[in-house]
C-alpha cells in the first residue's frame, strides 16, 4: 500500500506543471460526445481530453466552449505534447504564427516556412502551385489544413509556398502589363482596359461602372485588399 501511495505522489508535480495553450475553441451542440466532437475536428479522444483536462467524458455540456486546436505544454524537465488538429471547414479558425511579417497564416504552416502567398479572391490551389513552381504534394504538405478538394482556402490568410531546401520548377513568366502610367502594383499582364481612380471612388462604384464583380476586380488587381481600403 505504501508503494502505491509513493507512485501517485510522484506524478503530482508533472500533472501540476502541464498547461494548455488553446488557439481555437467552439461550443458543443445537443448530442455531441467527446469522441464525436473530437472526430468532427479531425482530432482524437486522447488529444481532446489533453486540451480539455477538466472535461467529464463521454458527455459534453450543450453550449459550453471546448478547446479543439491548441498545444499542451509543460515546465522544463517534462515532455511537451503537441495536440494541434486540422479541419476542412471554411470557417476561419486558429491562426498559426510563423513570422510577424506574414500574418495571419492558416493552421499547420511549418515553423521553417520561408515563402508565403496571401490568398486573394479567385485563388485556387493549382494556380498558386503553378505560380510558385511547386507540386500539389508539396503545397498540401506545407499547408496540411487545406483539404483534398482545396475548398477551404481562407481569403486574406497566408499559405506556405516554400521551405528551405525544397525543389521548385520556375513558372512561365507572365506578360508584363502595358498601358497608362502610373499603375497600381499587381495589375495582371493581360489587362486591356484601365480606369484612373478619382477622389471618392470605391471598389463598388468602379465595379458598378465597369459592369464587373468584386471577385473579377480583385483577381485583375491583386494588391487590392479584401475590404478595398488601399
72 within 8 A of 81, measured Cβ to Cβ: yes
Extract the C-alpha cell encoding 195: 480606369
Identify the domain boundary among 82, 103, 119: 82
pLDDT at 180: 80
Full residue range of the structural domain in which residue 46 is found = 2-82
Q: Are residues 78 and 13 in the same domain?
A: yes
Q: Are residues 48 and 76 in the same domain?
A: yes
pLDDT along the chain (230 residues), means of 10: 38 52 82 84 83 90 86 56 42 42 88 90 86 90 90 90 84 60 78 86 86 82 72
- Which residue shows C-alpha cell 503530482? 12
Q: What CATH number is given to the structural domain containing 133?
A: 3.10.350.10
Residues 6 or more apart whose CB falls under 8 angstroms from that of 97 comprise: 103, 104, 105
Report helix, strand or coil for 197.
coil
Q: Are residues 95 and 36 in the same domain?
A: no
Identify the domain boundary among 172, 188, 222: 172
Q: Are residues 12 and 75 in the same domain?
A: yes
pLDDT at 14: 41
Q: H or E segment at 129?
A: helix 125-132
The pairing of strands 19-27 and 65-73 is: antiparallel
Q: Within 13 A of 97's CA, how many CA atoms are on the CB side?
A: 4
37 within 8 A of 51, measured Cβ to Cβ: no
Query: Could you give the number of structural domains in the chain?
Result: 3
Amino acid at each position: 500500500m505504501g508503494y502505491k501511495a509513493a507512485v501517485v505522489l510522484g506524478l503530482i508535480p508533472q500533472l501540476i506543471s502541464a498547461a494548455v495553450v488553446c488557439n481555437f475553441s467552439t461550443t458543443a451542440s445537443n448530442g455531441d460526445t467527446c469522441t464525436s466532437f473530437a472526430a468532427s475536428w479531425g482530432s482524437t479522444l486522447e488529444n481532446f481530453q489533453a486540451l480539455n483536462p477538466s472535461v467529464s467524458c463521454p458527455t459534453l455540456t450543450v453550449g459550453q466552449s471546448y478547446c479543439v486546436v491548441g498545444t499542451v505544454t509543460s515546465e522544463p524537465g517534462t515532455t511537451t505534447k503537441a495536440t494541434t488538429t486540422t479541419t476542412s471547414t471554411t470557417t476561419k479558425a486558429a491562426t498559426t504564427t510563423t513570422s510577424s511579417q506574414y500574418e495571419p497564416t492558416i493552421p499547420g504552416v511549418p515553423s521553417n516556412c520561408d515563402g508565403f502567398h496571401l490568398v486573394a479572391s479567385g485563388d485556387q490551389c493549382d494556380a498558386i502551385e503553378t505560380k510558385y513552381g511547386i507540386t500539389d504534394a508539396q503545397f498540401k504538405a506545407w499547408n496540411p489544413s487545406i483539404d483534398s478538394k482545396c475548398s477551404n482556402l481562407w481569403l486574406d490568410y497566408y499559405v506556405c509556398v516554400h521551405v528551405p531546401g525544397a525543389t521548385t520548377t520556375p513558372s512561365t513568366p507572365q506578360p508584363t502589363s502595358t498601358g497608362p502610367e502610373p499603375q497600381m502594383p499587381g495589375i495582371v499582364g493581360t489587362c486591356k482596359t484601365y480606369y484612373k481612380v478619382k477622389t471618392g471612388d470605391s471598389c463598388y462604384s468602379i465595379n458598378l461602372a465597369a459592369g464587373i464583380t468584386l471577385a473579377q476586380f480583385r483577381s485583375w488587381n491583386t494588391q487590392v485588399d479584401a475590404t478595398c481600403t488601399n
